[in-house]
Amino acid sequence: QKEVEQNSGPLSVPEGAIASLNCTYSDRGSQSFFWYRQYSGKSPELIMFIYSNGDKEDGRFTAQLNKASQYVSLLIRDSQPSDSATYLCAVNTLKDTGRRALTFGSGTRLQVQP
């Protein structure tokens, strides 16, 4: 089982709709969760982070965390074609070294259709 799992997509939504991106993780001790957006040929850009159970809203983005279910999601409201990108979920997980490091999922490709 991968430490951080995401559906690779593509997830296709019409312009103006809500896009829902999901991520599950295996390390119950993880405390920090991040969503990055990556355009083709570019580096990851941090768009949201969440540390506590519940919802966190920032503009059109809402991150949701459920530690009991080991599940974190990202909602994008009023999706725009410019939101079309790969969304990477990242979780601070415990490594074999006993230290924590950021583990990324493989990303979900989002396509917003005009």
Partner 1 sequence: GAGVSQSPRYKVAKRGQDVALRCDPISGHVSLFWYQQALGQGPEFLTYFQNEAQLDKSGLPSDRFFAERPEGSVSTLKIQRTQQEDSAVYLCASSFGLTGEQYFGPGTRLTVT
**Contact residues for partner 1, defined by CB under 8 A:** 4, 31-32, 34, 36, 42-46, 49, 88, 90, 92, 95-97, 99-107
Nearer to partner 1, 14 or 51 (CB): 51
Q: Pairing state of beta strands 85-94 and 100-104?
A: antiparallel
Alpha carbon 15 to its chain's center:
20
Least Å distance, CB 38 to partner 1, is 9
Nearer to partner 1, 36 or 79 (CB): 36
Residues 6+ apart with CB under 8 A from 100: 92, 93, 94
Least Å distance, CB 14 to partner 1, is 25
Contact criterion met (CB below 8 Å) for 52 and 66: no
Least Å distance, CB 24 to partner 1, is 14
